[in-house]
Chain A
Amino acid sequence: MLSAVEANILAAFFERVSKAEEVSDDVVIGLRRAFASGKLPKPEQLVQLIADNNGELLT
Chain B
Amino acid sequence: MIQIEEIHIQELRGIRDLRLKLGSKSFVICGPNGSGKSGVVDAIDFAFTGSISRLTGAGSGGLTLLKHGPHVHCRDDPGVARVAVTFSDTASGKTAVLRRNVRTAKQYTLEPDIAEVRAAVEKAQQHPELTLSRREIIKYIVAETGKRSQEVQALLKLDRLGEIRSILRTTQTKTSSAEKTAQEYVKTAEDALRRHLDLAELLTSEVASVINRQRRVLGLEPIDGLDHDTDLNQGFDVDLSERAFNKVSAVRDTTALMKALPDPVAFLTAVKNLNEALDFLEADPNILTTLQQHDFVTAGLALITDAQCPLCDLEWPDVENLRVHLTDKLARSENAAKLQVQIQEGARATIAESQSLRKLIGTVKSAASSNTSDGLDTCLESWSTELAALETQLGSVEGAIAQRPRLTSDPLGLPEAVSSGLADLLATLQAKPDQSVTASAKTFLTIAQERWNILRQARAECTKKAAAQAVARVVYETYCEVSNEVLATLYHAVEDEFSTYYQAINADDESAFKAQLEPSAGKLDLAVDFYGIGMFPPTAYHSEGHQDGMGVCLYLALIKQLLGTDFRFAVLDDVVMSVDSNHRRQFCNLLKTRFPEVQFIITTHDEIWAHQMQSSGLVTKAAQVRLHSWTVDDGPAYEEAGDFWDKIDSDLAKSDVPPAAARLRRNLESIMADLAAALHGQVAYRAEGNYELGELLSAVKGKHGKLLNLAAKAANSWNDEVVKACVEKLKIARSAAVLAEESEYWAINRAVHFNEWANFSKADFIPVLAAWKQFLALFSCENSSCESLIYVVSNNGNEEALRCKCGSFNLNLRIK
What are the nearest 10 A-B pairs in CB distance? A3-B157, A58-B467, A43-B170, A46-B171, A43-B171, A13-B482, A17-B478, A22-B474, A12-B482, A50-B468
Residues of A within 8 A of B174 (CB): 43-44, 47
Residues facing B in A19-59 (CB within 8 A) are 20, 22-24, 27, 31, 35, 39-44, 46-47, 50-51, 54-55, 57-59
Residues facing A in B461-479 (CB within 8 A) are 463-464, 467-468, 470-472, 474-475, 478-479
Which of B160-168, B194-202, B618-626, B680-688 is the interface stretch?
A: B160-168
With A6-B160, A42-B167 known to touch, is A23 a contact of B490 (CB < 8 Å)? no
In the complex, the chain A residue whose C-beta lies closest to that of B463 is: A58
Residues of B within 8 A of A13 (CB): 478-479, 482-483
Among A3, A16, A43, A54, the residue within 8 A (CB) of B471 is A54
Q: Is the CB of A5 within 8 A of B478?
A: no
Rounded to whole Å, the gap between the CB of A55 and the closest CB of chain B is 6
Residues of A within 8 A of B482 (CB): 9, 12-13, 16
**Besides the known contacts A31-B475, A43-B170, 16 further A-B residue pairs in the complex with CB atoms under 8 A apart:** A3-B158, A5-B486, A13-B478, A17-B474, A22-B467, A22-B470, A23-B474, A27-B475, A42-B167, A43-B168, A47-B178, A50-B171, A50-B175, A58-B463, A58-B468, A59-B463
Q: Does B302 sit at the interface, judged by CB under 8 A? A: yes
| Majority-rule SS of A interface residues | helix
Q: Is the CB of B167 within 8 A of A54?
A: no
Rounded to whole Å, the gap between the CB of B804 and the closest CB of chain A is 42
Q: Is the CB of A5 within 8 A of B464?
A: no
Q: Is the CB of A5 within 8 A of B479?
A: no
Rounded to whole Å, the gap between the CB of B495 and the closest CB of chain A is 16
Residues of B within 8 A of A4 (CB): 157
With A12-B482, A39-B305, A47-B174 known to touch, is A5 a contact of B490 (CB < 8 Å)? yes
Q: Is the CB of A20 within 8 A of B474?
A: yes
Rounded to whole Å, the gap between the CB of A21 and the closest CB of chain B is 9
Q: Does B223 sit at the interface, judged by CB under 8 A? A: no
Q: Is the CB of A46 within 8 A of B167?
A: yes
Report the Cα distance A44→B298, complex, angstroms: 13
Q: Does B739 sit at the interface, judged by CB under 8 A? A: no
Among B467, B486, B490, the residue within 8 A (CB) of A12 is B486
Residues of A within 8 A of B481 (CB): 16
With A6-B157, A23-B474, A47-B175 known to touch, is A58 a contact of B464 (CB < 8 Å)? yes
User: Which of B161, B174, B474, B475 has the most chain A CB within a 10 Å cutoff?
Assistant: B475
* B→A interface (CB under 8 Å): 156-158, 160-161, 163-164, 167-168, 170-171, 174-175, 178, 302, 305, 460, 463-464, 467-468, 470-472, 474-475, 478-479, 481-483, 485-486, 490
Q: Is the CB of A50 within 8 A of B463?
A: no
Among B168, B471, B483, the residue within 8 A (CB) of A9 is B483
In the complex, the chain B residue whose C-beta lies closest to that of A11 is: B482
In the complex, the chain B residue whose C-beta lies closest to that of A39 is: B305
Residues of B within 8 A of A58 (CB): 463-464, 467-468
Q: Is the CB of B472 within 8 A of A50?
A: yes
* A→B interface (CB under 8 Å): 2-6, 8-10, 12-13, 16-17, 20, 22-24, 27, 31, 35, 39-44, 46-47, 50-51, 54-55, 57-59
With A3-B160, A5-B158, A47-B175 known to touch, is A55 a contact of B475 (CB < 8 Å)? no
Report the Cα distance A35→B171, complex, angstroms: 14
Q: Is the CB of A42 within 8 A of B157?
A: no
Among B160, B167, B464, B485, the residue within 8 A (CB) of A41 is B167
Rounded to whole Å, the gap between the CB of B217 and the closest CB of chain A is 35
Residues of B within 8 A of A10 (CB): 164
Residues of A within 8 A of B171 (CB): 43, 46-47, 50
Report the Cα distance A17→B481, complex, angstroms: 10
Residues of B within 8 A of A16 (CB): 478, 481-482
Among B157, B167, B170, B475, the residue within 8 A (CB) of A23 is B475
Q: Is the CB of A40 within 8 A of B160?
A: yes
Q: Is the CB of A40 within 8 A of B471?
A: no
The contact sample of 19 A-B pairs, CB cut-off 8 A, is A2-B160, A3-B156, A3-B160, A5-B156, A5-B490, A6-B157, A9-B161, A12-B482, A12-B485, A13-B478, A13-B479, A16-B481, A16-B482, A17-B474, A20-B474, A22-B467, A22-B470, A24-B471, A40-B160
Rounded to whole Å, the gap between the CB of A8 and the closest CB of chain B is 7
Q: Is the CB of A17 within 8 A of B475?
A: yes
In the complex, the chain A residue whose C-beta lies closest to that of B480 is: A13
With A3-B157, A6-B161, A40-B302 known to touch, is A51 a contact of B468 (CB < 8 Å)? yes
Q: Is the CB of B164 within 8 A of A40?
A: yes
In the complex, the chain A residue whose C-beta lies closest to that of B178 is: A47
Q: Is the CB of A59 within 8 A of B464?
A: yes
In the complex, the chain A residue whose C-beta lies closest to that of B305 is: A39
Residues of A within 8 A of B468 (CB): 47, 50-51, 54, 58
Report the Cα distance A26→B478, complex, angstroms: 17
User: Which of A9, A17, A54 has the most chain B CB within a 10 Å cutoff?
Assistant: A9
In the complex, the chain A residue whose C-beta lies closest to that of B465 is: A51
Rounded to whole Å, the gap between the CB of B126 and the closest CB of chain A is 9
Residues of B within 8 A of A59 (CB): 460, 463-464
Report the Cα distance A23→B474, complex, angstroms: 8
